[in-house]
Every structure is written in structure tokens, then in C-alpha cells.
Structure 1
Amino acid sequence: MVDASLVQFYRDNGYLLVKGLLSRSEARAYRDESHAVLARLRKTDPTWGSARELGGGATELRHCHDAQFYSAAFTKLLLDPRFTDVAAAVMGTDNVQLHHTKIFVKPAEKGSPFPLHQDAPHLPHTKHTVGAAIFHFDDAPQEKGCVRVVPGSHKNGLLPHIEEGGWHLPPSKWPLESAVPIEAEAGDVLFLTYLTVHGSGVNTAAEARTTLLIQFRDPEDLPVDDVHRSRGQGMMLRGVDPTMRTT
């Protein structure tokens, strides 16, 4: 059972760092699996144009959508009750449904940043239960471009974003440096609402930063538009889908 004080912290601040959800050895195995998956795929770089300006030069990012379709290890992680129990608790529901997954690797010394933004504009939902879990498979101090958040920003609702060069908030009003750095260790998982303003810095360290993003929702929280489809979307990770009818 998830401690009520942690749930309250999430609701007050829009994020929650769960320490040691995975062991360091588990995190290392998932790190190796992430890099192995990316090594088998065609190399692509999803770095936003605006992020290159923020990074002050040539930066890179490796990623993979729908990780569970490339390795069963990630399917197992999707169903891990250590994760799904927290996801259910912060949403206040017994049921957890998958929206999508992504592997992100910021390469050593030049890993791309992300300007401050909300995830909500990409996938708006009616009840705003959508959350994200960022699994850290190696340590993420500030020099590796750790996630930064603006506590309480989820209470402001959906904010207007700039679409040119990415999908982010105006840097002049929302500088990355103004956000709180959430340094993490291998095995830690950062939960945040899709309305929470967040971003991340450049990885300047000598080691890559490796994470897995799992975006989840209450199955009764319907999307506003038919956008951001992904393979496996709608898969139940915990409980049942009460909206499904056979007749």
C-alpha cells in the first residue's frame, strides 16, 4: 500500500520521486536492455530545434517508442505492481491503463535538453488523470541533464505552448534554470502529472543518461482528440477497463 503522505505530495506538487523502486542491479539490467534495443534500430534523433538552441550547440538524443514491442523485459516492467500500485494511488483509482512508452538516452557529453513544457498539449484528456513514470536506469545528477520540475504548476491547467521548434513554453517566461532539479539514482522512478511543467538540461557528463517513460491514465479518462496513438495503447496494466461493454 502506498503511503498517503506520498500521494498527498503528488497532488500538492504535481510530482513524486519514489526512491529505489527498482534495485540497482535491476536498473542496470534494464539499462543494458535499453541500449541493446536502440542498437538494433535505425538511428533517429528527435531533438527539438529549440532544444539545440538551449543546448548551445550540437546535441543528440536517442529514443524508441513502444519499447515493449521490442523486448519482453519492458512488458514485464509495465505490469510490475511496484509501479502500477503507485500509478493507481496517485490517480486515485484501482485501474491503470497504458497510453505509451518511450526509451530516452541522452548520450555522454552532448545529450539534448528539453525546454520547459507540459505533456498535456500532445495528448489532452477530459479528466486530466494522465501521468508519467520516468524510470531511471542509471544515476541522473544535474550534470547528466536530470529532469527539472515546477512544483504546483499542474494547478494552472493547460498552458499555451509554442509549436515552432518543438512544443514548449516560452523560454523567456519559463527559463529552464527556474525549475527545481530532481536528481535521481539508478532504480528511482519520478512520477508526474501531464500538466506539470518540466524539462531537462544537457548531459555534459562522461556517461549516458538512460530512462524509460511510461505514460498511463485512468481508463475512464477519455482523450479529447484522436491524437498520439501508439502500439499497445489501452492495454490494462492494473485492474479492469470499466468502459468496455460486450453488448
Structure 2
Amino acid sequence: MVDEAALASYRDNGYLLVKGLIGKDEAATYRQESHDLIGRLNRDWDPTWGSAKELTMGAATELKHCHDVQFYSAAFARLITDPRFTDVAAAIMGTPNVQLHHTKMFVKPPEKGSPFPMHQDHPFFPHTKDSVGAAIFHFDDAPVEKGCVRVVPGSHKNGALQHETEGSYHLPFSEWPLENSVPCEAEAGDVLFFSYHTVHGSGTNTTDEARTTLLVQYRDPEDEPIGDSHSQSLGQGMMLRGIDPSSRALGDR
């Protein structure tokens, strides 16, 4: 559980890096699980945003990923319901109940792992109460050179911002340059929590090792989505902690 000082920092800055939430041996196990899953899927589709080329001067990069990882490996189902994680998410939201929105596992390959331009998660799945948060589990070390997540402290206080849609949702490069953000360098086992209003992005992995992370988007179950964007995530509505007081049918999520 995080203390009040950490929660105050989250409220002020819009993000919180929790050091060593899981052990390094655990992180190594999940890293192997992630790479084994990528190997089994053998997918050609690359989810790199078209706008990422603005950050690489047109150079080609690549990204490997998988949505809804808990449906492919029980190890991830155990991780997303682990109280070490869900207790922090509950404390951040100020509710005893934590509901899953979706999961995504990312592997940035060595030397050319794709960056993400600065953006908010809000445009992809807006909600009425803005309780939606993200947690990024680091399964290996993520220094700047590996393309770690970068944030703009306090940006969540601006609410929803206007994004450009060409090449994918992203904020204007002239107003939100990646280099002006704060790098959140992390070690294996660290988890980065942030609001879906927090402006964030990441750089290119230029090292000779992959960068492996799991993104878990969660919400208060009483926070209703606006529209049906991102409604196809198979696990959406799963309770990770507590109960769903809203008693809404799964089809209404």
C-alpha cells in the first residue's frame, strides 16, 4: 500500500512510480512469459503509430504487442488481480472497487523499438467520472535509452486536450515535444501509475535489449464510459478488487 505522501504526489503530478511492487525474479518470469506469448502468436501486424515517424526522422521502427493477455496465459490473470497492484489502484482512485478496462503487453525490440508521441489516453475511451488510470508493469529495466515512458507532471489538471488524428491520436508536436517531458526510468519490478488525463509518451529503444511492459487500464466500476470506443476488449468489466455496485450487465460496458 502507498502512503499519504505518495498519494498526494499522484494527485499533484498525475503519476506515481512504485518501486519494486513485484520482485525482480517475478519480473523476469513475466518477461519470459511475455516473449513466449509473442513467439506463439507469430503475428505480422505492427501497432506502431504512423505519427511515430515524426520522432524518428522517418526511420522505420517496430513494436510487438498483445491485447487481453490474461486470456492467453493464466500468469497474467494472477498478476492483474494481485493485491499488491489492486490495493494501490484502489488507493489512487479512492474506491475499494477496481474494475478492468483492458490489458496490453508491449515489447519494444532491440535497436529499433517504436516510440509513442505525446498523448492522453482519454480520447480512446472517455468516461463520465474520469476515474480511469493506467499501470505499467516493467518486466525488465527501462532507462531512457530503452525508450522509457515519459510524462508531463501536472498535465492531468488540464482535463481533456484536443488531439490530432492524422497518423493516430497525438498532441501537436510543436506544443508537446517529447524532449520536454520527464523520463520515468524504471527497473524490473517497478510499476508506473498515471491518470488517463496525464500527458505521456515514450522514446525509441536504441539498446541491444528488448523493453518489455504490461499496461493495465483500470477504472471505478461506477464510472460509465462515454460511447462505445474501445469496447471490444474481451476482459472489460472483470472485477480485479471488490465488487461492482452498479450491477450493469456486461453488454452495457
Same fold (TM over 0.5): yes
- Specify the alignment match of 1:160 in structure 2: 162
Conserved in 2, the CA contact under 8 Å of 1:48 and 1:114?
yes
For residue 55 of structure 1, give the secondary structure of its aligned residue in structure 2: coil
- Specify the alignment match of 1:226 in structure 2: 228
| Residue segments in structure 1 that go unaligned for 5+ positions in a row | none
Matches within 5 A, 1:75-224: 75-224=77-226
- How far 1:245 sits from its partner (Å)? 6.7
Runs of 4+, deviation exceeding 2 Å: none
Deviation digits for residues 142-199 of structure 1 (CA, Å, limit 9, x no counterpart):
0000000000000000000000001100001100000000000000000000000000
Deviates more, 1:229-238 or 1:38-47: 38-47
Matches within 5 A, 1:27-46: 27-41=27-41, 42-46=43-47
Aligned-partner residue type, residue 161 of structure 2: L
Deviation digits for residues 130-151 of structure 1 (CA, Å, limit 9, x no counterpart):
0000000000000000000000
- How far 1:43 sits from its partner (Å)? 2.9
Conserved in 2, the CA contact under 8 Å of 1:136 and 1:210?
yes
Aligned-partner residue type, residue 32 of structure 2: D
Please tell me the root mean square deviation across aligned C-alpha atoms, in Å. 1.0
Conserved in 2, the CA contact under 8 Å of 1:44 and 1:63?
no
- How far 1:220 sits from its partner (Å)? 0.6
- Specify the alignment match of 1:15 in structure 2: 15
Matched, 1:239 2:245: no
Conserved in 2, the CA contact under 8 Å of 1:136 and 1:185?
yes
For residue 156 of structure 2, give the secondary structure of its aligned residue in structure 1: helix
- Specify the alignment match of 2:2 in structure 1: 2
- How far 1:227 sits from its partner (Å)? 1.4
Aligned-partner residue type, residue 214 of structure 2: L
| Residue segments in structure 2 that go unaligned for 5+ positions in a row | none
- Specify the alignment match of 1:54 in structure 2: 55
Q: In percent, how many aligned pairs have the same letter?
A: 72
Aligned residues: 246
- How far 1:219 sits from its partner (Å)? 0.3
Q: Distance in 1 between matches of 2:147 and 2:12?
A: 25
For residue 55 of structure 2, give the secondary structure of its aligned residue in structure 1: helix
Q: Distance in 1 between matches of 2:38 and 2:29?
A: 14
- How far 1:52 sits from its partner (Å)? 2.1
Q: Distance in 1 between matches of 2:148 and 2:11?
A: 22
Q: Distance in 2 between matches of 1:203 and 1:113?
A: 7
- How far 1:44 sits from its partner (Å)? 1.8
Please report the TM-score for the alignment, with normalisation by the length of structure 1.
0.98
Q: Distance in 1 between matches of 2:63 and 2:179?
A: 20
Please report the TM-score for the alignment, with normalisation by the length of structure 2.
0.96
Conserved in 2, the CA contact under 8 Å of 1:54 and 1:113?
yes
Q: Distance in 1 between matches of 2:67 and 2:53?
A: 21
- How far 1:226 sits from its partner (Å)? 1.3
